Structure 1
Amino acid sequence: MTASTLQHADSGAPPAPRRPGVALALICVAMFMLMLDMTIVAVALPDIQADLHADLGDLQWVVDAYTLPLAALLLTAATLGDRFGRRRLFSTGMAVFTLGSLACALAVNPLMLNTMRALQGIGAAMLFGTAMPILGHAYPDLKARAKAIGAFGATLAGATAVGPLLGGLIVDNAGWQWIFAINVPIGALAFVGARLGLPESKAEKPRRVDLGGTILLTVSLAALVFGLIRGQSQGWGSAVIVTSFVVAAAALAAFLVRSARAAEPMVDLELFRRPAYVGIGLTGFVIAGTLVAATNYVGLYFVNTLGYTPFEAGLRFLPLTVTSFVAAPVFAQLSHRIPNVVTIAGSLLIVTVGLVWASRVDASSDWTALAPGFVLAGIGLGASSAVLSGAALASVEPDRAGMATGVVNTLRQVGTAAGVAALGAVFAGRTGSRMASDVAPAHLPGAQLQQLQDAIASGAGRLVVGHAPQQFRAQLTHAAVDSTAYGIHVVLLISAVLAGVATAVVALLLARGRRAG
């Protein structure tokens, strides 16, 4: 949900469209595409790495170049839609997203791919920012609107569930470029449908666009992610990395000061005076920054180390994605009967246990070692997806409903971007050092050892063995499997620790909020 309230969607707007199903279908198509592009790349990263000669930092940007603009611009896009017209911004977003997808499919190097992924993210922010207000206008009846929002949520969950599997199927049969090219005909049809089938609507009293806040938040997030992604390769104490973290902190501080003083800030900081709301936002941030972010490195592990094809890797994500999809509607029903302190903190706890279980992977493990943990983590992911937006709405008064849900969605995207960058630094550091330890008895030349470390740190897995002298290949095969499995183990274990700490904090915050309520 976005920063535009559903109340604004109704007040002073033109009459609701006669065929609200058209609006719902267009919104669901748009949401399916933009959510699919968050998860579909997980199993395509190894092929992208091989074709474009990308290092781990480049692969991290494939994810973060998309999620950063989405996170930074989502609230602003909603405000622009309220002011200038939601159909107009939705159509523009669809055009931008579709053109960005086409450019991604045509990319010839990592820089072009990641620049166009950012263009996709800008279009996705416009689509996400206008989706819920358009539905609010199309369905003025609250019961009908609730069903439409249910279909909206099911679409998000469905796209997340089928992303790795569909991505693997496409990569195996058509090439990684088609995970982006497939958006082009669908996006073109959706653009025409939006122009012909969506009525225009605006808010009666739209908020002002906080351009300064948008710029500051974007600078802060970009500088933070850059520092996390490049810190391992350039040195954590280097001038470039230290400067990036200083810029991130300064821009964030300026953003908070501006938000506290502005008459109509991009983010209303009063929301964070409410313990329950802080707990809800923290849950979305942590689950995205741990479980969701870690799946990108597990995808590399499945393909490059365990030797599965992208489609086979997608199949092995099903314990996570299918249980998430199945659990979401179950917990949506339970949320009306069970206190939020149980469902929300419980979802984090289930994710924590699942991550701990999955983290037991080692050099002798197959994908089945991860499966039980993925089942548990998927239940927690589905539970959180089902209850967070409703809990955010319930934690505030109606005139802040859109802002509340929009900020939670923004925190999820920020969590994904920061998690991919931070866990990538952990993965690169742990796999590289483990590789050096494993091959030390071979007494390889220093330059060759460094090349092996760099390749393993980029997630190359067993692929490094093909470039080694014949007499070292048996030892290097074991070292590659062992070091990569160790890197995945550490990534999942750290994620579990962070999720566990967050579980305790969220439970306390929600309990305080319940007493206050």
Structure 2
Amino acid sequence: MTLSRSPRNAVALAAVCLTSLMFGLEISSVPTVLPTLESVLHADFKALQWIMNAYTLACTTVLMGTGALADRFGRKRIYVASCVMFGITSLVCGLAQSASVLIVSRFFQGMGGGAMLICQVAVLSHQFQAGRERSNAFGMWGIIFGIGLGFGPIIGGLIVAVANWQWVFLIHALISIVALGLIFAGVQESRDPHAQHLDVAGMLTLSASCFGLVYFITQGPDLGLGSPAALSIVAATALSFIAFLVVEKRSPRPMFDFSVFRIRPFSGALCGSMGMNCSYWPFMIYLPIYFQGALGYTNVKSGLSLLAYTLPTLVVPPLAERLALRFDARRVIPLGMFTIGLGFMLMRYGAGMAHASWLTMLPGSLLCGAGLGLTNTPVTNTATGSVSPNRAGMASGIDMSARLISLAINIALMGYLLVEGVLSYLTRALPGFSDTASLRSLAEQVAAGNLASLANLARDSATLTTADPHGALLHAALVHGFGVVMLYAMIAAWALALLSVVAFGAGPTRAHCATSTLDKDACRPSM
């Protein structure tokens, strides 16, 4: 199928697809190497969380502002700058010799990645304006992005097996050079003469509130959840969020137009966006730790095991589109999230078996991936299709921000629950272990999944050596901790499925109205 009649547009599409592949790989390949980073860089569990969350939070920071910058200063110019930034920071990530350097460079890499993502959409929208050509271009972009996400775990595992962990990052520095050549050759420069002003106040207050909440969840237990320092963080976070609401309400050109939340299909779809990122996506960060720590798998076998979790997300979306057209997105989106929750229930059961393996996890993993495939495409189509065309960009920005913010929060929250689950098991199993601080430190090391490295600690602790001479207790504690996380993911998916049903209400979505014979008056959103 011909995607474009213009050779230059074909080159531009190749550039967009290559940069989307990089963005997808950088999200899904890094979790596979986190246990390796814990050992090589001597990163503790909190550092592993920040290695992932620095990227996510940075994407959120630049997401809404990049569009305005690209419209004003030139989409190609900002695209080139973001690609250069992504390439340079990927090089720095690969050369990092400490966890702190990696975390900082991951933050700047996330800024480049988030800006690159927005520019991809802007370039496709400008250079592919004919209906069929535009649809094919966006379809190809989505497929390549999905391949990056779906095959990232096995690609990351293979890179570590044949080279070392650094190449998970360094490979993007090389790909960026190729992408830059394609951008210069194919992407046309374009601007919007009516570009909006950059909402700096909105960006800063939203970013501060997100960072504050994630920091409190991640560092709160060490500070003491009721300590003055922790309470000060909570207060600053709340004030930042209130300031964001006030700024956006008073701004003549707000980054977030809150009136769209009165449109039922949009609100229902947004529940789906948050549901996926409160369950499926953040758990993918920790699943490699389970495979390598609890099951003893290598990087490659862990990546192969993760394919059951990710590949259904590539196969199911065409079915989801047909179901949405026939039965309406207000039914398909909650069904997808219910399926994700059911998958977590089965995974929890499989992980708790006496001889757990990837096979006992397989049914739940497949269901989780299928549930995401059922949810993702209808959510995107409904969020943008339920508003007028001139507000579609803003609606898409809110949808993407909701995804990244909920992902960042739940990466931190799942990590907190994992440590607390391990700690509660160890507290019950080791009543003679009186040093609370040491026990929490042990729980964090167990949660990081590198159980073999705990042998020295076990030899140094008479209590632990007597209670757990072969490490079975630590293994059981890790499995219990993951059971707590899976229970949370199941509840979160089902709760947001129910909230989505309530938000959608009884009326059909606008996207369904466009292809149905329903009375158009019944398709008007509730305001």
Do they fold alike, i.e. is TM over 0.5?
yes
Name the structure 2 match of 1:113: 102
- 1:452 partner amino acid: L
Mapping for residues 35-114 of structure 1, pairs under 5 Å? 35-114=24-103
**Does the CA contact (< 8 Å) of 2:77 and 2:189 recur in 1?**
yes
CA distance in 1, matches of 2:440, 2:282: 27
Name the structure 2 match of 1:239: 228
**Number of residue-to-residue matches in the alignment:** 501
Q: 1:445 to 1:164 in 2, by over 3 A?
A: same
TM-score w.r.t. length of structure 2 = 0.91
1:452 is the counterpart of 2:449: no
Match of 1:255 among 234, 244, 253: 244
1:508 is the counterpart of 2:506: no
Q: Deviations over 1:225-268 (max 9, x none)?
A: 11111122222112222222221211111111111111111111
CA distance in 2, matches of 1:376, 1:247: 40
Mapping for residues 254-333 of structure 1, pairs under 5 Å? 254-333=243-322
Name the structure 1 match of 2:493: 499
Name the structure 2 match of 1:3: none
Name the structure 2 match of 1:437: 428
- 1:282 partner amino acid: C
CA distance in 2, matches of 1:375, 1:306: 19
Name the structure 1 match of 2:515: none
- 1:460 partner amino acid: N
CA distance in 2, matches of 1:439, 1:465: 17
- 2:165 partner amino acid: W
Specify the SS of the correspondent of 1:19: helix
Match of 2:177 among 163, 188, 193: 188
Match of 1:403 among 373, 394, 400: 394
Deviation at 1:87, TM superposition (A): 0.4
- 1:379 partner amino acid: A
CA distance in 2, matches of 1:156, 1:406: 18
Q: Deviations over 1:203-227 (max 9, x none)?
A: 2421211011111111111111111
Higher relative contact order (CA 8 A, sep 6+): 1
Q: Deviations over 1:76-95 (max 9, x none)?
A: 10111111111000000000
Deviation at 1:67, TM superposition (A): 0.6
Q: 1:271 to 1:461 in 2, by over 3 A?
A: farther
**Does the CA contact (< 8 Å) of 2:60 and 2:404 recur in 1?**
yes
Deviation at 1:348, TM superposition (A): 0.8
Mapping for residues 143-182 of structure 1, pairs under 5 Å? 143-182=132-171
CA distance in 2, matches of 1:337, 1:275: 19
Match of 1:129 among 112, 118, 139: 118
**Does the CA contact (< 8 Å) of 1:33 and 1:183 recur in 2?**
yes
CA distance in 1, matches of 2:339, 2:178: 40
Deviation at 1:435, TM superposition (A): 2.1
> 329-338 or 46-55, which moves further after superposition?
329-338
1:34 is the counterpart of 2:23: yes
Name the structure 2 match of 1:340: 329
Name the structure 2 match of 1:479: 473
Unpaired segments ≥5 residues, structure 2: 509-521
CA distance in 1, matches of 2:152, 2:455: 30
Mapping for residues 181-220 of structure 1, pairs under 5 Å? 181-220=170-209
CA distance in 1, matches of 2:277, 2:93: 24
Q: 1:499 to 1:469 in 2, by over 3 A?
A: same
Name the structure 1 match of 2:366: 375
> 365-374 or 64-73, which moves further after superposition?
365-374
**Does the CA contact (< 8 Å) of 1:304 and 1:463 recur in 2?**
no
Q: Deviations over 1:419-472 (max 9, x none)?
A: 10011111111112212322447x698786565334224433354235422954
CA distance in 1, matches of 2:504, 2:393: 20
- 1:227 partner amino acid: F
Specify the SS of the correspondent of 1:428: helix
> How much identity, in percent, do the aligned residues show?
28
**Does the CA contact (< 8 Å) of 1:56 and 1:459 recur in 2?**
no
- 1:509 partner amino acid: A
- 1:438 partner amino acid: A
1:469 is the counterpart of 2:459: yes
Q: 1:74 to 1:446 in 2, by over 3 A?
A: closer
CA distance in 2, matches of 1:126, 1:448: 42
CA distance in 2, matches of 1:485, 1:309: 18
Deviation at 1:484, TM superposition (A): 0.4
Unpaired segments ≥5 residues, structure 1: 1-15
- 1:485 partner amino acid: V
**Does the CA contact (< 8 Å) of 2:423 and 2:439 recur in 1?**
no
Specify the SS of the correspondent of 1:140: coil
Mapping for residues 341-360 of structure 1, pairs under 5 Å? 341-360=330-349
Name the structure 2 match of 1:394: 385
- 1:488 partner amino acid: F
Q: Deviations over 1:305-358 (max 9, x none)?
A: 211111110111111111111112221333332301111111111111111111
1:428 is the counterpart of 2:426: no
CA distance in 2, matches of 1:439, 1:428: 16
Deviation at 1:193, TM superposition (A): 2.1
**Does the CA contact (< 8 Å) of 1:392 and 1:405 recur in 2?**
yes
- 2:257 partner amino acid: D
Deviation at 1:106, TM superposition (A): 0.8
**Does the CA contact (< 8 Å) of 1:231 and 1:425 recur in 2?**
no
CA distance in 2, matches of 1:327, 1:312: 24
